[in-house]
């Protein structure tokens, strides 16, 4: 049984609509928690399995990080937008959305550049050999595609860091906690 939650709003939204909104926000919040846990699990895989020795485990961890943390962040943007629209208690999450779009586009560019670097360089089996990636010279085929992939990978992680800092800052600056009432 979920606690009853009320939001003090300036809008003319009915109590039933408020309850429905609170339930949607509560479900979204729980879903974002699950996605964030997947992201943390992925970070653990990336940190504990080096790409030079456990490339598949490391890569799966990277996918968990991206889809978990970015899924979490997109849900947070949606929730912040809903709270801003329905209650007027905070501003719309414009900077968070911009950083997320930049990070998502960078991820697509990263994956395309990675695939192109593999195709231009060699086959997948040769690419997965750690020695090739460790000694890849700038004159080798596919090298510059690999550089684009690596650079955009950093953009992906820096963008999500900015989003997480934005979420933390929004929580710190939120002054309307007294307008959110919890009752059982």
Q: Residue 3 — pLDDT band, cuts 50, 70, 90? A: very low
Q: How distant is the alpha carbon of residue 63 from its chain centre?
A: 11
* Nearest-angstrom CA–CA distance, 118 and 113: 9
Query: What is the number of residues in the chain?
Result: 184
Cβ distance 159 to 116 under 8 Å? no
Q: Kindly write down the DSSP assignment for every residue of 61-120, as one continuous string.
A: HHHHHHHHHHHHHHHHHHHHHHHHHHH-SS---HHHHHHHHHHHHHHHHHHHHHHHHHHH
pLDDT tens figures, 90-127: 778 888 899 999 999 999 999 899 889 888 887 777 77
State the pLDDT at residue 177: 57
State the pLDDT at residue 142: 81
pLDDT tens figures, 55-84: 788 888 888 988 898 899 999 898 888 888
């Amino acid at each position: 049984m979920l606690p009853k939650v009320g939001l003090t709003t300036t809008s003319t939204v009915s109590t039933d609509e408020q309850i429905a909104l609170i339930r949607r926000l509560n479900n979204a919040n729980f879903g974002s928690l699950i996605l964030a846990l997947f992201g943390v699990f992925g970070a653990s895989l990336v940190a504990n399995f080096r790409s030079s020795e456990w490339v598949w485990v490391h890569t799966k961890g990277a996918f968990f990080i991206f889809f978990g943390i970015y899924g979490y962040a997109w849900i947070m943007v949606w929730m912040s937008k809903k709270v801003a629209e329905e209650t007027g208690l905070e501003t719309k999450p414009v900077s968070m959305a911009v950083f997320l779009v930049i990070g998502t586009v960078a991820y697509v560019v990263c994956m395309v550049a990675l695939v192109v670097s593999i195709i231009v360089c060699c086959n997948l089996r040769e690419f997965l050999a750690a020695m090739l990636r460790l000694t890849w010279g700038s004159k080798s085929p596919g090298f510059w595609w690999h550089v684009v992939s690596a650079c955009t990978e950093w953009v992906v992680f820096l963008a999500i860091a900015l989003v997480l800092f934005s979420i933390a800052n929004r929580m710190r600056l939120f002054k309307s906690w007294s307008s959110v009432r919890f009752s059982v």
